[in-house]
Amino acid sequence: MTISSSSMAASNAMGLAVAPVVARVSTATLPTATDTSNGVTSSSLSTQTPSVVVTLSGATAAPLSPVYSPQPVTPPPAWSNASIAIETASGRTLTLSLGDDGDLALKTDGDEPLSKAESVAVAKLAVAFKSALDGMASSSPQMDLAGLAQVDTSVLSSVHLTAQASGTGKAIQTIDFSADANSRSVKGDGQAGYIDVSVDLSSPALTGSQSQQASAINNYLRQFDQAASRGHASPALMTMFKDAFTQMNAPAGLDAVPLTRPSTWVTETDHSLLSGLADFSASVTQNAVASNPYRPDEHDAFAFQVSQTTQVSGRDPSERSISQTSSSSLRASFHSALSADATLNLTGDPKSQNYYYTQVNDSAQSNMKIGYQKGRLVQASLTQTASQTTEQTKYVMGKKVEDITTPLKQSQQRDRLPLLNELDRHPPKTQQERDERTRALANIHDSVAFQLDPTALR
């Protein structure tokens, strides 16, 4: 099998430009396999005469800036040690790797040809592999892991991608992605910062419908934007983080059978009270920079973490309890000019030392508790807290003239039991009434969304 592609190098969000990936895959015999819905086709080929070519298109190079004086030429970093370890559902072990010459090679654990389904799945995975590397090297950097995250685990039971971009002998970017039926995770480490997102897929009954998952993801992305704004995070790094979070939590809910299963332990009513997402842990850390030579102990830094955990307990569904907790923390610090029209240019000269140094310390938590006794809903309560602490120090001509700390904290409790009991007392009989119930549950779902901002809890 031969897979060829081309792409031009560009700047990476985490601080690198990666050389074009030209991929040609030579592998053992593959049986005929066609997936017309995705445009991926693989045919039988002998080990002597490959007969199928899958062509991938890459991004074109961005226009180069004019050069007005001789400048040193530095070779762009190149991907190295880039590979995907694959376990098939049938027990095969495969490795898809990118060589130093830019070729992709597929190694198998024997001479037995791949099945039709395996051939198609591997071909799709090669496309996704290429997209992931190109996405991180594009002029508009992105974490393009959608194809990898949606791997068909009924055919390829697990995939594990590792890749490293290096320049002048030093690693400056690494990516580590893995996925199987029970989890998805990605880690990215580079010159600008570190990203870590993992999702627990082992309890599919906890995930809601596609619309609930999409609503929850959109809400979290809004919270991330608020955190980035408060902490002056790198826009490019946050874009990568948001891409990773979205793709690891890609909607695949009750609307997408058989990826999730309805359960007597988690009902439609319960789903209206839960986030709709599988449990997850996500963090983004911007590498600290000492941007003020006059005070090197001051850093521009940003660190944000967010997570969700869910516990289901009880001797049987009629006596069950569900507790879902979401939490976040933000630590950040940054320098800013004393006014919007002033220029911040910090040097070792005291005369340049006119600025604000701001430190942010925020946290938030949300806990939903659901309880049943003898099959009857008896608890549906939400407790939310959010706090923000802002310390702003003002310097004029190198001297501290002001230091103000502003705390803000708010908590809120909501009982959704009366509303849900009212809905249960009037079960829908017509399509119109069923639609009204669906909208009511959607409104409840939106009302219990996670919030970082204390003012949103008032």
pLDDT surpasses 50 at 362: yes
The residue written with tokens 């219990």 in the block is 448
**What CA–CA distance (Å, rounded) separates 338 from 327?**
34
Residue 211 lies in a domain: no
User: How much is the mean pLDDT over the chain?
Assistant: 81
DSSP string, 356-375: EEEEEEEEEEEEEEEEEETT
Look at residue 109 and tell me if it is in a domain: yes
Q: In terms of domains, do 165 and 278 share one?
A: no
Q: Is 271 within the bounds of a domain? A: yes
Same domain, 17 and 125: yes
Name which of 284, 280, 329 is nearest 309 in CA terms: 280
**Within this chain, do residues 158 and 300 fall inside the same structural domain, yes or no?**
no
Confidence of residue 7 (pLDDT cuts 50, 70, 90): very low
Question: 20 vs 136, 175, 198, 380, CA distance in Å?
Answer: 11, 17, 29, 54
Out of 57-61, 194-198, 296-300, 388-392, pick the least confident: 57-61
Angle at 388 (CA atoms; ends 386, 389), nearest 5 degrees: 150
Q: In terms of domains, do 415 and 284 share one?
A: yes
Task: Please give the pLDDT value at position 101.
Answer: 72
Q: Which domain-ending residue is among 144, 170, 196?
A: 170
Residue 238 lies in a domain: no
Q: Domain for residue 11, yes or no?
A: yes
pLDDT of residue 37: 41
Residues 292, 156 share a domain: no
**Helix segments in 151-234, DSSP class H:** 210-231
Q: Which helix (H) or strand (E) holds 279?
A: none
Phi and psi for 274 in degrees, rounded to 5? -95, 165
pLDDT value of residue 80? 72
Q: Please give the backbone phi and psi of residue 171, each rounded to the nearest 5 degrees, phi first.
A: -70, 130
What confidence category does residue 265 fall into, taking pLDDT thresholds of 50, 70 and 90? Answer: confident
Same domain, 33 and 162: yes
Domain match, 327 and 456 both: yes
Angle of helix 417-425 relative to helix 431-447, nearest 10 degrees, comes to 170
Higher pLDDT, 435 or 59: 435
287 and 419 part of one domain: yes
User: pLDDT-based confidence at 191, cuts 50/70/90?
Assistant: confident
Assess whether 409 and 268 both reside in one domain: yes
The answer to whether residue 191 is domain-embedded is no
Beta-bridge mates of residue 311: 323
Residues sharing a CB contact under 8 Å with residue 375, sequence separation 6 or more, in sequence order: 317, 318
Residue 246 lies in a domain: no
Residues 22 and 142 in one domain: yes
> b/e string for 422-437 if b means 16 or more Cβ within 10 A?
ebeeeeeeeeeeeeeb
The encoded tokens of residue 374 equal 């003898």
User: Rounded to whole angstroms, how far apart are CA atoms 168 and 76?
Assistant: 9
- Give the end of a domain, one of 170, 197, 221: 170
Overall number of domains in the chain: 2
């069923």: which residue's tokens?
A: 434
pLDDT: which is higher, 101 or 413:
413
Domain with 307, as residue range(s), is 262-441+449-458
- 300 and 414 in a single domain? The answer is yes
Task: Specify if 206 maps to a domain.
Answer: no
pLDDT tens-digit map of 278-312:
999 999 999 999 999 999 999 999 999 999 999 99
Question: Is pLDDT larger for residue 77 or for residue 5?
Answer: 77
The one-letter code for the residue type at 127 is V
- Are 243 and 209 contacting, i.e. CB atoms less than 8 angstroms apart? no
Tell me which of 155, 170, 185 is where a domain ends: 170
Closest CA to 104 of 7, 28, 21, 19: 21
| Rounded Cα–Cα distance for residues 406 and 408 (Å) | 7
Query: pLDDT at position 122, please?
Result: 92
Q: For residue 301, what pLDDT is reported?
A: 97
Q: Are residues 153 and 266 in the same domain?
A: no
